[in-house]
Chains A and B, each alone.
Chain A
């Protein structure tokens, strides 16, 4: 029993740490704290989704935020006020137009729809090598953005969908973050996860060992899309109002920044990155609003929050390229042999010719 805890301690510790943070929100009756934490747990879910694909396969995907968009709209279609849907979203099928579904049904939709899209897209683009696949995911993000902001009868175009019940609070989103941690961990220790990381570290050797690269990558891509989509569904039911704008390059940048800051190649890194970056951003935001120091108020100019985030990320890339977690899992209790699923992080990625000395 103890041994198996020591072996699989990482997810439980991560869940416990996140739980403590969630508890802090329950103790504070400050609304802005609750909002910040809810947002943070949604991002934990999304970034873990990113990690499942990027961390295990080594292919940077800029397109996962597209799945968040798809998931968010799926949830909105299910839960928005029918009277709104009948007027504004006349292109929706009747069963969606006339009914308002409960939270869990909506979440199921925001898991399944992105996963289905990922299955079709992934079957095509997972054949590509690293850089080409990155570009293809990028093209996918632009396609999703273009379709969702112009398909007026189904997505209300550039105007927003309103009347979504705001049922997602800190605890609900915490539970989904926990589920995401567990799903990502189970995938990581499964044979699929192991084989996929083998393709990341040495594609040729993995292929020679009969690893079916396409299938492994596709599995991770679909799971990742489902998790990110769930994050989107939560986001819609947290805000209560939905437009296409947030699901684009900026969010893509911020979520990838979180993953890089924490460390791309470990689950601990994904979670740490979100928590640390959220803390930094909140601190900078506080400074932007101004801190009274004696008689004068010290305030950073508008925009320093974004610039600060950019600089932090550049510094991390330069001085700690494998992120705060160094690509390792958080495991303070010794398990006998080194069994935590991870590997040296600074290997050249699949499909990249190594270019070492400059």
Chain B
């Protein structure tokens, strides 16, 4: 019983990381029909922004050593700037392109960012020590819960609350939802497309920055491809949840986190190495049973 609860907590914590990443990807998909492969690389950039740029093996913290009230906004700012730059340089000229073209373009952006990081910081993984105090465990009854998992959960809840308040209560939030529903119609009614898209990129940048800090604290290492597996799982979470639906992205993120953790815990040891294969086979299965995802979005229905 205790074991099961422990696994559940792991699943929720992993799931909330995936949900944050999926939310960043889902937000852009809703408005732009862009499946942003480069989102994982935004996370990588957030993590590498913590250290002194050099190709040395040991990483020295630069921004990462600042006090957190200064450091967190700085990291967010850096990632948001990168996100806005990718929009301005790569995606804005492609506004009229089809969804597969955008997807391939984001693949190219991701490739460029990864090798840019590789060029500046070298290819070897680096160890960093960021807030390692957060990895201590808290006892709740018989449960041992790492402090970081609680922080992750809290951050996820706060960010989701903030985003849903933004979308529901502010003028720009309403414009964004309108744009996600029907971009052309929203433009006819006076929504400025590039502003709304810029805000979406900025929010996805902030989400990526949050994930980069949480993930770096947890793993304690950096590598130029560190964002890729996160983006892969989140990408799948978006699809499983239902493309274009933000609730779906969150649900998908938690579902994937749950599946991965449970497979890791309950697969027979011989098969544990094949965890990812099982997880992704499950994804294909979900797609076959519910092609529109668990929480289908209205706007993705095919129109004739």
- Listed in ascending order, the chain A residues whose CB lies under 8 Å from chain B are 58, 60, 124-125, 127-132, 134-136, 138-140, 142-143, 146-147, 150-151, 204, 249, 253, 256-257, 260, 301-304, 306-307, 309-311, 313-314, 317-318, 321, 348-349, 351-353, 355-358
Contacts and interface: CB of A to CB of B under 8 A. Distances in A.
* Among all A-B residue pairs, the 8 with the closest Cβ atoms: A310-B112, A150-B273, A358-B95, A303-B119, A306-B115, A139-B280, A146-B277, A310-B111
B183 A358 contact: yes
Main secondary structure of the interface of A (DSSP, over half): helix
Interface string B100-127: 1101110111011011101100000000
Contacts of A356: 96, 184
Contacts of A139: 236, 280-281, 283-284
A304 B119 contact: yes
Main secondary structure of the interface of B (DSSP, over half): helix
Contacts of A132: 239, 243, 287, 291
Given A256-B107, A307-B115, A358-B187, A125 B276 contact: no
Interface in B153-170: none
Nearest to B290: A132
A128 B288 contact: yes
Interface residues of B, number: 50
20 contacts: A125-B288, A128-B288, A130-B100, A136-B283, A142-B232, A143-B277, A150-B274, A150-B277, A260-B104, A303-B116, A306-B114, A310-B108, A310-B109, A317-B97, A318-B90, A318-B93, A349-B99, A353-B303, A356-B184, A358-B183
A125 B111 contact: no
A136 B287 contact: yes
Interface of B: 33, 35, 90, 93-101, 103-105, 107-109, 111-112, 114-116, 118-119, 183-184, 187, 193, 228, 232, 235-236, 239, 243, 273-277, 280-281, 283-284, 287-288, 291, 302-304
Contact of A204 (B33, B115, B184, B304): B304
A221 to B, nearest CB: 14
Given A129-B302, A357-B184, A317 B101 contact: yes
Given A139-B281, A355-B183, A349 B100 contact: yes
A134 B239 CA distance: 11
B279 to A, nearest CB: 9
Contacts of A150: 273-274, 277
A353 B287 CA distance: 19
B96 A128 contact: no
A140 B277 CA distance: 8
Contacts of A353: 302-303
B281 A143 contact: yes
B49 to A, nearest CB: 19
B115 A303 contact: yes
B115 A135 contact: no
Contacts of A302: 118-119
A257 B193 CA distance: 29
A309 B291 contact: no
B250 to A, nearest CB: 18
B261 to A, nearest CB: 17
Contact of B112 (A131, A138, A314, A357): A314
